[in-house]
Amino acid sequence: MSESTRLKIVIKHLEALAIEMAQPGIDVVVRRESIDRYFAVNPEVMEQTIKPKQVLVGKCKAYWFVPKGHKGNRRLLYIHGGSWMSGSVKGWGAFVSRLAQATDCALLFIEYSLMPEHPFPAGLNDCLHAFDWLQSHGPEHNNQAHKTFLAGDSAGGNLALACLLALNNSNKQLPQAALAISPCTDFSGSGESMQTHAHQDPIIRPQAIALLPTVYLQNSEDLKTPLASPLFGELSGLPPIMLQTGEAEVLLDDSVRFAQKAKQAGVEVTLDTWPNMPHVFQGFAPFLSEANEAIEKIGKFFKAH
């Protein structure tokens, strides 16, 4: 099967999912079940190569994904996507298994509080607590981590960057490096690609992003408040950051503009964009060769730090 055919299959899968989730009055439980099928383009993609170990972090379920033979001293907190209202280990387990192996990290996957039951800043606070927790709690022993990292995709990419800002603002320990995959960095939706790429993006609708703040922020926050829209935060002093995004996304400019602003603030930034790739295409490994290559680049980034 050609690479172009594989990409077409992924695009059709995402388009069908978008139609499914756009049904009027869709129940939040049904929506969450749909999002857990985001990467389910074939059985191989959903195959977990690491068996997770469940733990409790505060009030949240979390899961350690530890590569075979790993000592657990390099730890990465992973924050899933799902528009702040969906996502779980069921849908993301296979993807983060591959990330744990590629990055040579014991990866902690956090099932943070979701809206609409738990609006901003509940989920962010869960993630901050989890990052603090993993510094002194490993997968086998409660010892101090040698190195800590932070990563997330989509809404989780937003939360990962917001965590960096919150930690920096509080003068708390920052991770050695961070990754944001296809993050939303601007709740005001002012990026040019929000309009210019609307016809290309098979899964995200600009009008849907415009509705999210009414639930996530409950109309009580400025759309540009930095912990919800990291693009408008003070970025100086942040650790090295990798931003990896598909070029077929309406959220492309959220990464591009954040990278530009971070570089101007003196942050070491790696902006890695991929032609024709859709939202969080990395999760379609090993079906898409580009996903395999992107995960390899992520691994090299974290190993370099």
Where do the domains of the chain lie, and which CATH numbers do they carry? Answer: 3-303 (3.40.50.1820)
| The pLDDT of residue 254 is above 80 | yes
For residues 200-233, one letter each, b for 16 or more C-beta atoms within 10 angstroms of the residue's C-beta and e for the rest, the string is bbbbbebeebeebbeebbeeebebebbbbbbbbb
pLDDT tens for each residue of 218-245: 876 788 999 999 999 999 999 999 999 9
How far, in Å, CA of 120 to CA of 115, rounded? 8
Closest CA to 49 of 289, 301, 294, 295: 295
pLDDT tens for each residue of 70-80: 999 999 999 99
Question: Taking the CB of residue 11, how many other CB atoms lie within 10 A of it?
Answer: 18
Residue 87 binned pLDDT confidence (cut-offs 50, 70, 90)? very high
| The pLDDT of residue 141 is above 90 | no
Q: What is the pLDDT of residue 186?
A: 95
Q: What is the pLDDT of residue 249?
A: 97
Q: Tell me the residue length of the chain.
A: 305
Closest CA to 87 of 42, 56, 123: 123
The single-letter code of the amino acid at 167 is L
| The pLDDT of residue 153 is above 80 | yes
Residue 211 binned pLDDT confidence (cut-offs 50, 70, 90)? confident
Per-chain mean pLDDT for the chain: 95
Query: Active-site residue numbers?
Result: 154, 249, 279
